[in-house]
Amino acid sequence: MSVLRILHLVGSADNDFYCDLSRLYAQDCIAATTNPSLYEFHIAYITPDRQWRFPPSLSKEDIAAAKPMSLSEAV
């Protein structure tokens, strides 16, 4: 059986509150469904400054270390 790749779209371009709330919900979703034999998770994280990041996890450290990019760079 092949592994299903899943892209989690996380964050908010609106404000910091919704950005962090989305991160917390997505972090719990990933933790509850992690099964490497079935799923390969990827994260696309948007912040209120409209910058996209592709961190390996949703920890604040990984998000801060991920390269910010514009939508055109991200696509």
What average pLDDT score do residues 51-55 get?
A: 98
**Sheet harboring 52-53: ordered strands across?**
4-11, 39-46, 52-53
Angstrom distance (rounded) from CA 43 to CA 34: 13
Percentage of the chain lying above the pLDDT 90 cut? 99
pTM of the model: 0.91
CATH class belonging to 4-74: alpha beta
Angstrom distance (rounded) from CA 33 to CA 50: 28
Both tokens assigned to 59: 């920890």
**For the chain, domain boundaries:** 4-74
Answer for the pair 56, 41: CB distance below 8 angstroms, yes or no: no
